[in-house]
Structure 1
C-alpha cells in the first residue's frame, strides 16, 4: 500500500495545529454535554442541595428537598436516565416548593453543561421577577467562577461568558414575540392556568424546544376552573392522549400537612367533614389539619379549601368557582356511567313515507345510547342555535320511565328551519315524545317548520306533540296557545334550579361525556348574579351551554307529562314497563 506524505508550509502547520486544538476542545465540551448517566443523578442532586433559598422564617438555608420536590426530581431524572424528552404538567397545592425545584433544576443544568438555554415563562412581570429572583440568588451565593466564569446577571437573564455560553432568562406569557427565532432546552411554564391567552405562548414554546432527550417542558399551576388549556391538557395527559406526563401532588401524601392529635381525641364533625374523611381515608392528624386549615385559612369554605389544597385532581379543577351542579354526582357519572354512543349518524324520511329511518354515519350530528322502545315515552328539549358556524343546536332525549338521556343531537352546521325537520324526525323516532323547543330568537323558525312543515318536505304535516307555553307561577298551571318554551331570566334560573335538584337526587342517568363536562363547568357568579361557563370543548374556540339548556328543557318536559298527547296506552306483556 502506498503511503502518501505531504510537506506542509509553515502557515499550513499552524492551521493544522489550531484545528487539532479546536477538535480537542469540542471533544471535551461534548463529554460535558452528554454526562454519564450513572453519576448524573448524584451530581445534580448534590449541586441543587448546595444552592441557597430563603425559607418561610426568613432564613438563608440550603435547598434540602422536601417530599414533593423529591418526587418531582426523581421523575425529571428518570427521563434523563432513559434519555427521553421530559414533558410534564403538574397540578399542585400551594406552598409545596415545586417552582423552587424547577428553577434550581434548570439553573443546575445551564450551569453544569455548556451551550444550554433555559427559559422561565410567568403569568405576569411581578410573578416572573419573584420566581427569577430565586435563580439570581442561586447565582449570587454559589462559587461558579472557577467552573464557568463570572455570570452576567440582570433582572431578566443570567448569562455565562465563553467558553460556557449557557444562559437562563425570564419572560411573560403576554409577550407576542415569545420564543420567536430562539431555541431553548429547558422551559418552566409557571401558573399556566392563569395565563390570559395561553394557546399562542404554548405554541411558541413547543416550537422553540427541540425533540431531544436533554430537553424539558414543565407546566406547573394551581387549578383555575375547567375548560381552559391547562385543564384540557391535564385531561388529555391523564387519558394518555398527550406527550405530557401528569403529576398531581395531593396534600394527603405529605407529612407536614397534619396536626398532633391524642389517640381517642373526640372530634365533633359536620356531615361534610365526616364524608370527606371517609371518602379519602384520612387519619386523625390529617383530618384535624384539614378542618383547621379550612376554618382559619380558607374562610371556612370547602370550595376554597379544595381549590387551594386539593386531595384529588378533580376537586382542584371543579371547585375553582361556585359550581351550579353537584360535583360529586357529576364525577360519579363521568367515572361509572359516561360512555361512547352505541350508534352515530342521522335520521331521514323513508322513501314515500313520513316514518323516520336511522342512517349510520361516523360524523353525523345524532348520537344514540339507546334505541326507542315501543311501550316507553320520551321527552325532548331543544335549544336552537343561530345557524351555520354559530352556536350549536342541541336536542336532548330523555326516557320518562328509566330517566336515561338516551340520545343527543348537536350541530352548528344547520339553519333553524332545517333543524325543525331534524327535530320532527327525532321526535317521531322516539314515539312522538313531548317536544319542547325554545322559542327565543331562531327558535320561532324551528317551531314554524315543526308546526306547519316546509315546502321541500311534504311529509311534515305538523308535529302532533309540541309543547305549549304554560304559566307555572299560578296555583294551577295553565297551558297557553303559545308554542314553545320561553327562556328569560326568571325561567332560566328556575329550570336550571330544578335540573340541579334532579342531578343532586340522582334523578337522571347521563351517558354523554361532553354534557357532563359542560355541566361541571357551569358556575354561578354571585357578584354579577349570572351564570358563567368555564368549560370549553376541545373542538371549540368558545364556551357553550347549549347541551345544558336542552337538557333542562327536556327535564321540564318530563314534569309536563299531563300534557303529553302520546302516553303509551297498551302495557307490554306482564303489565309492567
Structure 2
C-alpha cells in the first residue's frame, strides 16, 4: 500500500471531535515523496496539520565542553559561524564539530543531524543545486491560476494550430500561472521547451514548459508562465507543444530530439519536419563537424555530454543569481534530487525524475544564447 493510501485509511477512522489527534512522524528521506509533500502543505498552511521540526540543537544532551574558546572559534567554517549567528551556543557548536569528524563529508552529518527542515530532506552529498537556493525558489511557487488544455481545431496537422484557445479542465495537464502577454506581435518573448518522455503511465513524463523572457529591454527576471506534464504519443505531443507555443504569442519552440532520433529511424525527421511545415518558430541546431562541411542544420535540441553540461551550468547560474522565477514546487523537488555522477555527468537520483528540470535548463540556456529580435523572423532557427 502506498503511504498516502495507508495514512488515508488510518485517518478515516479518527473522528473529528475534541481530544482526538492525528500525528504523522517520520525521519525525512528525500524530497518529492508523500511525507515531504505533506510537510510542505503543513508549512504553507494548506494542510489540517501543523509543521513541527526538531533540530539537533533542540535536544539538550547535544552539547560538549567548549574548552578553549579561541580554538573553537578559529576552527569554525562559514557554516558553523552561521550557527553562531542563529543563536547556538559554543557548547552546541563544539558538539557539532565533533560530530562532523565522525563522517567523511558534511552532507552525511546534515542528513543525520539536520539543523533545519531543508537539510533534513536533502540526503545526498552529490547534489547539483544548493539546497538553500532551491528553498529560496520555493518562495515564488504557488498554485496555478488555471488548469486545462490548449488546442486548436484538430489534434494533428495544420488545423491543430488554427483557432488555438485555452479550455479549463480540472483534469487537464496544463497549469497556467500567467496568461500570454497582450502584445502578441512580440513573438520572441516566450520560449517553449519540450522534454519527451514515454507513453505509458509508468514511463518518464513528457513536459512542456513556457518560459517568459520578460520585456524586450531585459528588465526583470525570467519566469515560468505555464507547464504541461503527462503521458502522450510523441506525434500528439509535438502538435500539443506547437499549439501551446502558438498560444503564447508564436513562441520559440525547442524540442529535445534525443528520444525521437534514437527511437526509430526517421521519426525525428518525420515529426519535427511536419511541425516545421506548419509552425515557423521551431528551434534548429547547426551540425559543426568534419562530416558536415555545409554546416547542415537539424531540427530539435540534441542533448549530449557537451550540451547537457551547458544546459545544467546555465541553470545552476540562473538559480544562484535568481535569474528566473519558478512557479512549480515539482521543479524544486527535482533540483533537490539532481546529482552529479562520479564520471562528471548529471542525472536524477535513482527512483526520481529530471523531466521538469531539463525543460528549465533548456529554456534558460536557449533564452541566453538565441538573440531576441523586435520582429518574428527566421533568426529563431539560429541554434547552437
Q: TM-score, normalised on structure 1?
A: 0.52
SS at match of 2:53: strand
Q: Which residue is equivalent to 1:284?
A: 90
Distance 2:289 2:318 in 1: 20
Q: How does 1:432-451 map to 2 (within 5 A)?
A: 432-442=250-260, 445=267, 448-451=270-273
- Aligned mates of 2:281, 2:80 — CA distance in 1: 48
Say if 2:279 is the partner of 1:463: yes
Residue deviations 1:456-484 (CA, integer Å, cap 9, x gap): xxxx842212121246899xxx9641111
1:345 has 2:154 as partner: no
- After superposition, residues 424-439 of structure 1 pair within 5 angstroms as 424-439=242-257
SS in structure 1 at match of 2:334: helix
> Paired residue for 1:259?
64
* Structure 1: gaps (5+ residues): 1-197, 454-459, 535-541, 571-577
Do the aligned partners of residues 255 and 471 (structure 1) sit closer, same or farther apart at CA in structure 2, a change above 3 Å counting? farther
Alignment of 1:148-297 (within 5 A): 199=2, 203=6, 221-232=26-37, 234-235=39-40, 247-261=52-66, 265=70, 267-268=73-74, 269-278=76-85, 280-294=86-100, 296-297=101-102
Query: Match for residue 379 of structure 1?
Result: 191
Partner residue of 1:391? 204
Q: How does 1:405-424 map to 2 (within 5 A)?
A: 405-412=224-231, 414-424=232-242
Counterpart of 2:177 in structure 1 is 369
5+ residue gaps, structure 2, are 215-220, 377-384
Q: CA RMSD in A?
A: 3.9
SS at 1:367 equivalent: strand
Q: Please give the per-residue CA displacement for 1:496-555, whole angstroms capped at 9, x wherever unaligned.
A: 233223212222210111121122222334389662336xxxxxxx64221112222222
Q: Does the 8 A contact of 1:518 with 1:545 survive in 2?
A: yes
Give yes or no for contact 2:311–2:365 (8 Å, CA) kept in 1: yes
SS, match of residue 370 in structure 1: coil
Distance 1:487 1:201 in 2: 36
Tell me the secondary structure at the aligned position of residue 551 of structure 1.
helix
After superposition, the Cα gap between the structure-2 partners of 1:543 and 1:359, relative to the gap in structure 1 and judged at 3 Å, is same
The aligned residue for residue 360 of structure 2 is: 551
Q: 1:289 to 1:437 in 2, by over 3 A?
A: same
Following superposition of structure 1 onto structure 2, how do residues 518-557 of structure 1 map, counting pairs within 5 Å?
518-526=334-342, 531-533=347-349, 543-557=352-366
Counterpart in 2 of 1:15? Answer: none
Distance 1:560 1:525, change over 3 A: closer
Asked whether 1:515 is paired with 2:322, we answer: no
Q: 1:511 to 1:533 in 2, by over 3 A?
A: same
Counterpart among 329, 338, 350 of residue 133 in structure 2: 329
SS of 2:235's equivalent? helix
> Contact 1:435–1:557 (CA<8 Å) still a contact in 2?
no
CA contact (8 A) 1:392 1:546 kept: yes
Residue 247 of structure 1: CA displacement?
Answer: 4.8
Q: State the structure with more CA Rg.
A: 1
CA–CA distance in 1 between the matches of 2:331 and 2:132?
A: 15
Q: CA shift at 1:307, angstroms?
A: 0.7
Take 1:417 and 1:314, find their aligned partners in 2: how far apart are those partners?
A: 40
TM-score, reference length from structure 2: 0.75
Counterpart contact for 1:416–1:446, Cα < 8 Å: no
Is 1:307–2:119 an aligned residue pair? no
